[in-house]
Each structure stands twice: as C-alpha cells, then as structure tokens.
Amino acid sequence: MMYVHAMGDDLGAGGLRFEREGAIGWCTIDRPAARNAFTPAMYYGLKRAVKLVNSDPDLAR
C-alpha cells in the first residue's frame, strides 16, 4: 500500500513531495519549470521531512 503525502501543504514548500510504501519513504522534488531548483522553503521542508522520518519507528533505518 502506497501512502503519498504532499508535504508542501504542511510545510509551505510546494514542489516537495513525500511518499511512503511500507518501511520505505522518499522525497521527490517536483518543480520542472524551475529545473527542480530549491527554494528556501524547500530546504526547511526537507529538514522537516527528515525529522518526520526519523521519528517514525515504522520506517527502516
């Protein structure tokens, strides 16, 4: 079962998406018009994503 969560909604970082399937999670940068360039908000969003993953015991480490 795949879980998809648009982290930009929670973190103010549009173009950054977190997906999870079982014990695997990954972030996708989705800003093709900007050649996937990071915004300052995306740096904070990625930091938040790492904290969420680290705090989830169901994700493999």
Q: Considering the domain boundaries, does residue 61 fall inside one?
A: no
Has residue 18 been placed in a domain? Answer: yes
In this structure, what are the phi and psi dihedrals at residue 12, rounded to the nearest 5 degrees?
Answer: 70, 30
**Do the domain assignments include residue 60?**
no
Residue 7 lies in a domain: yes
Direct distance between the N- and C-terminal alpha carbons of the chain, in angstroms, rounded to an integer: 19
Query: Does some domain include residue 12?
Result: yes
Q: What are the tens digits of pLDDT across the range 2-48?
A: 445 544 445 557 888 888 888 888 888 888 999 999 999 889 888 88
Domain count, the chain: 1
Residue 29 lies in a domain: yes
59 in a domain, yes or no? no
The answer to pTM > 0.85 is no
Structural domain span for residue 26? 2-54
